[in-house]
């Protein structure tokens, strides 16, 4: 016997029970890539669209009590919805900024102080540093930032992951080696950026975050 495609009696359940069911359908904490589409003229993501936005008015209202349409540059619309308390905003492409200046976008964003978790792909970070050498150029505008990660592709042509090594409480760092058990120059390069950003936050971050400075991590994606 096959299960029915719909549950016709759902609308007759008590509102309290329906709300609990909708809440169980909320996504788990996500890593949400952020791109700017010049074709659509808005911020987009390749993450799966949240279905609760479109099921019915009740699910949409409940969803929007937790999730917010992310606006970075106020000049442009967005179809990206974020739970700032759980989701990580991931700048994984050079198309992350309509103006080509992520720091400028974040400075004007009405949501900049609500962003708690941010990840930036390592090559994107390197390009950003060409135009703004200071590592805090983007970070300092996110006043509520708790975690920032520089992200390197997990598998490459000369890389393999051996395991995970804890660096600090709550932080995981991949142990990666290249051929011949030598650490690849690419990994060391990103680690240098990580350590440089840690130093800048430790020595200059109090002006932006007080005593609750962001934790800096390296991720293997």
d(CA 197, CA 200): 5
The DSSP H or E segment spanning 162 is strand 160-166
Mean pLDDT rounded to a whole number for the chain: 81
Residue 17 is predicted with a pLDDT of: 75
Which of the residue ranges 35-44, 62-71, 104-113, 182-191 would you say has the lowest mean pLDDT? 182-191
Q: What is the mean pLDDT of residues 109-120?
A: 96
The string of pLDDT tens digits covering residues 143-172 is 999 999 999 876 554 444 444 344 444 444
pLDDT bin (cut points 50, 70, 90) of residue 99 is confident
Residue 87's CB: how many other CB atoms inside 10 A? 22
Check residues 8 and 110 and name the one with the higher pLDDT: 110
Nearest to 83 by CA among 33, 25, 26, 157: 26
pLDDT bin (cut points 50, 70, 90) of residue 77 is very high
| pLDDT of 193 higher than 70 | yes
d(CA 104, CA 139): 11
Where in the chain are the domains? 15-154+191-220
The string of pLDDT tens digits covering residues 31-67 is 999 999 999 999 999 887 777 777 777 778 877 888 8
Residue 20 is predicted with a pLDDT of: 77
Check residues 16 and 151 and name the one with the higher pLDDT: 151
| pLDDT of 118 higher than 50 | yes
Residue 106's CB: how many other CB atoms inside 10 A? 21
Provide the Cα torsion 127, 201, 210, 101; round to 10°. -10
Residue 165 is predicted with a pLDDT of: 42
Residue 90 is predicted with a pLDDT of: 96
Q: What percentage of the chain carries pLDDT values higher than 70? A: 77
| pLDDT of 136 higher than 90 | yes
Q: What is the mean pLDDT of residues 11-18?
A: 68
């Amino acid at each position: 016997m096959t299960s029915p495609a719909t549950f016709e009696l759902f609308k007759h359940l008590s509102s309290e029970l329906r709300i609990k069911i909708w809440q169980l359908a909320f996504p788990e904490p996500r890593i949400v890539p952020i791109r700017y589409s010049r074709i659509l003229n808005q911020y987009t993501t390749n993450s799966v669209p949240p279905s609760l936005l479109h099921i019915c008015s009740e699910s949409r209202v409940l969803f929007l009590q937790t999730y917010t349409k992310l606006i970075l540059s106020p000049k442009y619309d967005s179809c990206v919805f974020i739970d700032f308390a759980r989701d990580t905003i991931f700048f994984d492409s050079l198309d992350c900024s309509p103006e080509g200046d992520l720091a400028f976008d974040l400075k004007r964003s009405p949501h900049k102080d609500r962003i708690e978790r941010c990840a930036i792909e390592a090559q994107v970070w390197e390009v950003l540093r060409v135009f703004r050498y200071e590592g805090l150029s983007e970070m300092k505008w996110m006043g509520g930032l708790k975690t920032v990660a520089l992200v390197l592709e997990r598998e490459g042509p000369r890389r393999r992951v051996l395991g995970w090594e804890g660096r600090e409480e709550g932080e995981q760092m991949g142990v990666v080696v290249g051929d011949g058990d030598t650490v690849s120059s690419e990994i060391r390069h990103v680690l240098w950026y990580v350590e440089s950003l840690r130093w800048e936050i430790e020595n200059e971050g109090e002006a932006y975050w007080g005593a609750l400075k962001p934790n800096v991590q390296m991720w293997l994606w």
